[in-house]
Amino acid sequence: MTQGHTITIEQGSQRVRVVRDGQVLAESARPLLLRETGCPVRYYLPPEDVRTEFLAPSDTTTYCPFKGTASYWSLPDAADLVWSYPEPKSEVSAIKDHLCFYEVEVVG
């Protein structure tokens, strides 16, 4: 990490849910909470807790110097709605293959 930039990952215990247009896309009681300098808390969900049958792989990739290269998935009406790091950097290896949505509802 560069000086002044930190990333921490911890096991969350709260239940989180992702709902779009009335459809539950994900619900998990075991999110990983990723806190990164200058960014909102992100909830990385185990793939077993995500309705991946609704998601189509996207051609989009982005690169983060701290986490690695992200792959994206889309809904028919929402491009690049969710991302994951299939080969994250070793410092953040816990998020490997977990899925992260832009908007997550914490429900308890």
- What residue segments make up the domains of the chain, in order of their start? 7-106
Which two tokens mark 88? 């994250």
CA distances (Å), origin 15, targets 4, 18, 92: 31, 10, 22
**Token pair of 72 as six digits:** 């994206």
Pick the CATH number of 7-106 from 1.10.3480.10, 2.170.150.40, 1.10.3720.10, 3.40.1080.10: 2.170.150.40
> Per residue of the chain (108 residues), what is the pLDDT tens digit?
457 789 999 999 999 999 998 999 999 999 999 999 999 999 999 999 999 999 999 999 999 999 999 999 999 889 999 999 999 999 999 999 999 998 888 887
Structure tokens at 56: 């189509």
Q: Which segments of the chain are extended strands (E)?
A: 7-11, 16-20, 23-28, 32-36, 42-45, 56-64, 68-75, 78-84, 99-101, 105-106
